[in-house]
Structure 1
Amino acid sequence: MFSTRIPIVLVLTGILLTCIADAMAAENAALGLPAIGPTSTNPAQGNISALGKKLFFDARLSRDGTISCSTCHKPELAFTDGRSLAKGTAGRIGTRNAPTLLNVGFNTSQFWDGRRQTLEAQALDPLVNPREQGLSDDEALLTIIRHDQEYVELFRNAFSVEPAGIRPEHVGRALASFERILLAGDSPFDRFQFGGDSKAIPADAQRGLLLFEGRAGCASCHIVGKESALFTDNDFHSVNVGLQRIAPRLAELTTRLVKARQAGTSLDQTVLSEEDLAELGRFVVTLKPADIGKFRTPSLRNVALTGPYMHDGSVASLKDAVEMELYNRGADMGRPLILTPQEKGDIVAFLESLTSPIAKDFGAR
């Protein structure tokens, strides 16, 4: 039964060493990021992260064997997919843009609407959603895992469980553990702001930083702290993207959403079943009218690598995203926010300075 034990041990050792190397690289790339919990340098946590990495890249954990977590979160694309809307099994198109997973461990809620509070809970939803990995249920997932000898060894090593004891919670914990080591700081901005290198970013980016924190008002939601910067307030706001399109049907859509919630329909499947319902944003979670059209503030770290932009991927370029944000900010203030073309270019240059070297290298690791 265990004739493959020696190769498996070698695989385990190799994955663990790779995971530890990943953690060390992440530690070196953490300038500008807040402190985060235990990393995979802890041996037990390292086993869990190594397992999570294997699960993350395994397309067998999908209905047709073609989709893995990494399909929508490609390392070479800063853990996005470069598409407007995510694409799952059988070519099904989702209703939301796939956000980057870099620094995702700092999020205080998950998904664009915050419908999951933890990475552990979030990680399980795509596996059984028909528009994502499409497995019929958790048991289908566990059947694949329990019949794979390498997985049996990895779960035993990580959680001290035998095949019958492997639960969905173990899968979620492993995936979350891997995702938490996807740290990407140490950008030119970080070296300028937190590393004391006055020449780390060019003059236009420095001017852009002053505008970002000053007259443009971007930092009111994309926060820059004194010792670290996540470039998000982890709150929910509306920038009117997609809302005008559904405005004539708002009463119908909100009523339908409330009825679906009352009937116990899966919130995850409801959001991904219809584009118009997805546009309701945070409302799908809270059912508060004030939350209609609000979405979680994304971090701007590595934003130059993660287009297209907005929750629906409707904005193609960073320049266009800046234009839209400035227009909406002016509308909120009740007066135009007028910046010159050069000033707008300076903000784009600043945003480009938020790119971490490691964010470009993940695809080669």
Structure 2
Amino acid sequence: MVVFQPLAGIRRRPLVAAAALAALLGTGSAAAYDWKPLPEEPPSPSHNPTTPAKVDLGRKLFFDPRYSATGTVSCNTCHNVMEGGDDGRPTSMGVHGKTGPRNSPTVWNSAFASVQFWDGRAKNLEEQAKGPVLADVEMGVKELQVALNVVASIPGYQELFKQAFPEDENPVTVDNAARAVAAFERTLITPNSPYDRHVKGEEGAMSEQQIRGMRTFNEVGCTACHGGPAFNGPQPELPEGSGFYQKFPLFADSAYVEKYQLLADTGRHQVTGKDADKYMYKVPTLRNITLTAPYFHNGAVNSLREAVLIMGETQLNKQLSEQQVDDILAFLEALTGEFPAMQLPRLPSRSGESVIRDTVTPVTGGAH
């Protein structure tokens, strides 16, 4: 696990990153920071090499709601790849209208995250893919095998698993389903943003204000946490599962903390039970950030401008000027990349028979 170490002599609470300290002392330099573009090819880990057959199977599973308890919730329900990769809600809605406690992170560029979920409880996309299926407020299935049985009962899926995992004697397994979904999710990257083209040397890729905002973003200390090619830490250099976390809020006496209930959730502490992990969260990507409102782990902040102001006070102990905020917002717009063409898949069916298990009492008076 990678976290920041405490440094002495800072007003309010002492835990602050070295780059943020430099910014507070006025020593930040955009020229000195190593700006990196997003890789144009997604990673293909040795434990789950990407293949077209895996991606095809994973795409179908990602869009298929039928292995949720009610047949109403798919991965895409909360991670809508037709938009920002989230669902635009403060917290996502799962089966039977239940909602969870945290905001849905974007699935775009999740391949470059150090760990998965806000609290880092999954070390990679394969582990993450299993979590929502079992969550009572998401897909609501009691056991992973129950969900897999639904998939296994559809002949078309049986053939797709054989194609994706030809080396397996019995390819229709929970682990293979998770591997397929993860393989598809790793293709969801958005390179070639104005920022990427700028750092590769393309003249005019970013506006003057965006370039000024890029400099401001570094000088005030934002790159202390939101660095690296995905602006979520020093990935992809970190080993898989090591985790890049930061305490939020860092300066807890800001009025924003009470206004948006930022201390109501203890973050990674809920996973580990360790006091040192209280209010620690995975640092999220800033790629396509203008498309993923509302913001923060609880989705309580609807405006990106407000989010920037909050980060200034609670993380950097700074009250940013209107000009600084305007310039940073302009820079954040330059982080919206190019989205690959996305075609809805045709899902296999079981002829003449439904595979959905739960029944829902219909509301009378409606029409279809």
| TM-score range for the pair, normalised by the shorter chain length | 0.7 to 0.9
Report what 1:232 is aligned to. Answer: 232
Q: Deviations over 1:99-158 (max 9, x none)?
A: 111111111211000001111111011112111011121221121111101101101111
Report what 1:24 is aligned to. Answer: none
2:206 is aligned with 1:197? no
2:295 is aligned with 1:314? no
Q: Deviations over 1:52-87 (max 9, x none)?
A: 000000010111111000000111222110001011
Evaluate the alpha carbon distance shift between residue 129 and residue 339 of structure 1 in structure 2; reply closer, same or farther with a 3 A threshold.
closer
Question: Given the alignment, which residue of 262, 277, 286 partners 1:291?
Answer: 277
Matches within 5 A, 1:1-365: 32-33=38-39, 36-38=42-44, 45-160=51-166, 165-194=171-200, 196-214=201-219, 216-224=220-228, 229-233=229-233, 235-240=244-249, 279-331=265-317, 337-358=318-339, 362=342
Question: Does the CA-based 8 Å contact 2:66-2:72 persist in structure 1?
Answer: yes
What secondary structure is seen at the aligned counterpart in 2 of 1:237? Answer: strand
- Deviation, 1:163, is 9.3
Question: Does the CA-based 8 Å contact 1:97-1:313 persist in structure 2?
Answer: yes
Report what 2:13 is aligned to. Answer: none
Query: Which structure is higher in helix share?
Result: 1
What is the alpha-carbon distance in structure 2 between the residues aligned to residue 185 and residue 276 of structure 1? 32
- Deviation, 1:362, is 4.4
Evaluate the alpha carbon distance shift between residue 75 and residue 330 of structure 1 in structure 2; reply closer, same or farther with a 3 A threshold.
closer
Evaluate the alpha carbon distance shift between residue 357 and residue 37 of structure 1 in structure 2; reply closer, same or farther with a 3 A threshold.
closer
Question: Does the CA-based 8 Å contact 1:188-1:200 persist in structure 2?
Answer: yes
Q: Deviations over 1:261-287 (max 9, x none)?
A: xxxxxxxxxxxxxx9998111112332
Structure 2 alignment gaps of length 5 or more:
1-35, 234-242, 254-260, 346-368
What is the alpha-carbon distance in structure 1 between the residues aligned to residue 84 and residue 116 of structure 2? 18
What amino acid is the match of 2:221? G
Evaluate the alpha carbon distance shift between residue 284 and residue 345 of structure 1 in structure 2; reply closer, same or farther with a 3 A threshold.
same
What amino acid is the match of 2:213? G
Q: Deviations over 1:239-265 (max 9, x none)?
A: 229x89xxxxxxxxxxxxxxxxxxxxx
- Deviation, 1:89, is 0.2
* Larger RCO of the pair (alpha carbons < 8 Å, separation 6+): 2
What is the alpha-carbon distance in structure 2 between the residues aligned to residue 31 and residue 217 of structure 1? 19
What amino acid is the match of 2:288? N
What secondary structure is seen at the aligned counterpart in 1 of 2:163? Answer: helix
TM-score by length of 1: 0.74
TM-score by length of 2: 0.73
What is the alpha-carbon distance in structure 1 between the residues aligned to residue 179 and residue 330 of structure 2? 38
CA RMSD after TM alignment:
2.9
What is the alpha-carbon distance in structure 2 between the residues aligned to residue 184 and residue 125 of structure 1? 25
Evaluate the alpha carbon distance shift between residue 202 and residue 107 of structure 1 in structure 2; reply closer, same or farther with a 3 A threshold.
same
- Deviation, 1:33, is 2.4
Report what 2:350 is aligned to. Answer: none
Evaluate the alpha carbon distance shift between residue 164 and residue 111 of structure 1 in structure 2; reply closer, same or farther with a 3 A threshold.
same
Question: Does the CA-based 8 Å contact 1:50-1:178 persist in structure 2?
Answer: yes
Evaluate the alpha carbon distance shift between residue 85 and residue 320 of structure 1 in structure 2; reply closer, same or farther with a 3 A threshold.
same
Question: Does the CA-based 8 Å contact 2:50-2:183 persist in structure 1?
Answer: no
Percent of counterpart pairs with the same letter? 36
What is the alpha-carbon distance in structure 2 between the residues aligned to residue 278 and residue 48 of structure 1? 40
What amino acid is the match of 2:208? A
What secondary structure is seen at the aligned counterpart in 2 of 1:185? Answer: coil
- The aligned length equals 293
